[in-house]
Amino acid sequence: MKILTKLILCVILITVLSSCATTFDMIKGVNTSALQIGMSKAQVQEALKKKPWGTVSARRDPNTSATLEVVEYAQSDGEKRIDRYWLYFVNDKLDRWEPASKYYEPSL
């Protein structure tokens, strides 16, 4: 019985700590001055020292066969405000970035 209790406590602790890691990653700022056109997605993640929030949009251009992808990075001030940024990649290379908007979708 003691082993089962310890196992349950370990699972709960791991769950709580992993959810905190996501929160702490959101609080880290998005330092766009560290970005350079032509960086790969891996280089961007390394430069920003955080993982992206997710992929907003992706498609393959039928004329050029280029892969176009918009990835979102976000930061929070620890309260309610969240700043989001869209990073545009063409064939896994950073093409441009901009603050995300709630009024329009990213244009690919």
Residue-wise pLDDT for 49-84, tens only, equals 999 989 999 999 999 999 999 999 998 777 666 889
Please state the rounded mean pLDDT for residues 24-38.
Answer: 76
Task: Report pLDDT digits (tens) over 76-102.
Answer: 777 666 889 999 999 999 999 999 988
Question: Of 75, 85, 86, 89, which is closest to residue 39 (Cα–Cα)?
Answer: 89
What stretch of H or E contains 30? none
Burial level of 47, CB count in 10 A (0-12/13-18/19+)? middle
Q: Examine the pLDDT at 13 and tell me if it is beyond 90.
A: no
Three-class SS state of 101: coil
Can you give the pTM of this predicted structure? 0.70
Count of all residues that appear for the chain in the document? 108
Provide the token pair at 81. 């405000």
